[in-house]
Structure 1
Amino acid sequence: MTDARTPEQKDDVSHNVTRLLRRLADDGGDRGLTLHEIRDRMDERAYGLLILLLSIPCLVPGLYGVPQVVGVIIILVAAQLLVGREEPWLPRCMLDLRARGSWLKAMADFAESKLSWIDRLSRPRLTRFADGPGEKLAAVFMILATLTIVLPMTNTIPSIALALLSVGLIQRDGLFVIAGAAVATAWLTLLGALAAGLLLGAEWATRLLPG
């Protein structure tokens, strides 16, 4: 793989999320960038930033279609983070997918208007939860949260968990990782309780049927 990053990009230690997203939008211009080009512009936080990029569109409530598609990519990327792969690998058919310039700009605008608080609050802390074994545990919660995205009308809350987990990895902020894991756990618990209630309710109802 050709490394398209400049020395300035490689040495950027601030990891300002909104600035990273704006830089991608500026680099893409009107034509946009392929996932391959986006990946090549990332630094050592490639996993976190790539999953954040994919989770932002899924924050739209009730969205159907897009979360189901990007969910497959998120699971593939998170699984590689879990097994300790140095950089994310994607099939050529996925790497050739192009994010339109208008989409990258809209995403950067959204981040600056709605997610600027992330850059104000996040910073390196509790790093044991955002690196090494903590990073792998974050990948597990990412996979679990993404599995619920494929369900209709359930994409927003797990996407919030993904965004928090991703920012935690980008900024090496263990507090954000813990918050993302807590949101994912609460959501999975709620879905499990609802599913159990439906099953128990269905079983109770069948007992009332004749014969």
Structure 2
Amino acid sequence: MTAADGQPAAPMRGATRVLQDVLDKLRLQSSATATEKQTARLGDVVENLDERAFGFLLLLLALPCCLPFVYLLPQIVALPMLALAGQLAAGGRHPWLPKKLHERSFSLDAFQSVLTRAEKYVGWVERIATPRLKPVTGRVGVRLVGGLALIPIASILTPLPSTNTVPGIGVAIMALGLIERDGVLVILGLLLGFMWVFLLLFLGAEAVDLIRGWIAART
């Protein structure tokens, strides 16, 4: 691929590298003193992302959900993820967050730790990402993707240990697909998320049957 001046075009940077650059920029802009924790708002992240902000935001918010034994944070970030997926489904061109979510702050150190830990897991996905199955990431396809993504994202809200990991990975892969215009990754991410939701519902139904059987045996 060549640029307009005939020189080789610079390769597209990985999504996690872009997010790292955004966090570094926010860290420099932070007014926190040496004894205070550096924080930023979700709105600050939106303002520092390019036209692929939906994908970048979904990836940033999905990363804490990918890691096992991370509690409470996945349930917190699932709410803005639902808002973003809903906007995609509605045909939104740029992310918009309600004022409460726009002003919601987070620790830069905490997200730096999450990004560092998660990069080794999503790095291999970035290396195989390439534009393909373009209708999936086209205008109509993205709206369908946003609607379907609501289901695995909603499952992250399930208040059970480690139930966020599999759907979080699925949403992260889907987000990388949106960023890199890779329809295959988008589909794989959605399939992973839906498989988890199906398993969760199946196990839930089995648990209900066991409880009913135990109650019947006691009466």
Instruction: Compute the TM-score of the two structures, normalised by the length of structure 2.
Output: 0.82
CA shift, 1:56, in A, is: 0.6
Unmatched 5+ stretches in structure 2: 1-9, 31-38
Contact 1:15 1:170 in 2 (8 A): no
The RMSD of aligned alpha carbons is 2.1
Matching residue's letter, 1:90: L
Structure-2 residue corresponding to 1:161? 170
Q: Deviations over 1:155-194 (max 9, x none)?
A: 1011011101111111110111111111012111111111
Unmatched 5+ stretches in structure 1: 1-11
Among 36, 42, 47, the alignment partner of 2:43 is: 36
Matching residue's letter, 1:59: C
CA separation in 1, counterparts of 2:199 and 2:119? 31
Q: 1:47 to 1:15 in 2, by over 3 A?
A: farther
CA shift, 1:119, in A, is: 2.1
- 2:112 pairs with 1:105: yes
- SS of the residue corresponding to residue 49 of structure 2 reads coil
Contact 2:53 2:94 in 1 (8 A): yes
Structure-2 residue corresponding to 1:5? none
Structure-1 residue corresponding to 2:18? 20
Q: 1:205 to 1:49 in 2, by over 3 A?
A: same
Q: Percent identity?
A: 30
Tell me which of the two structures has the higher relative contact order, counting C-alpha pairs closer than 8 angstroms and 6 or more residues apart: 1
Q: Which 10-residue stretch deviates more, 194-203 or 65-74?
A: 194-203
Please give the residue correspondences for 1:28-177 in structure 2 after superposition, counting only pairs within 5 Å.
28-29=26-27, 31=30, 32-151=39-158, 152-153=160-161, 154-177=163-186
Contact 2:67 2:118 in 1 (8 A): no
Matching residue's letter, 2:76: V
Q: Which 10-residue stretch deviates more, 56-65 or 184-193?
A: 56-65
Q: Detail structure 1 runs of 4+ shifted over 4 Å in the superposition.
A: none
Q: Which 10-residue stretch deviates more, 75-84 or 194-203?
A: 194-203
CA separation in 1, counterparts of 2:117 and 2:67? 11
Give the count of matched residue pairs. Answer: 199
CA separation in 1, counterparts of 2:120 and 2:71? 24
CA separation in 2, counterparts of 1:207 and 1:108? 49
Contact 1:59 1:159 in 2 (8 A): yes
CA shift, 1:20, in A, is: 0.7
Among 188, 193, 214, the alignment partner of 1:179 is: 188
Q: 1:112 to 1:187 in 2, by over 3 A?
A: closer
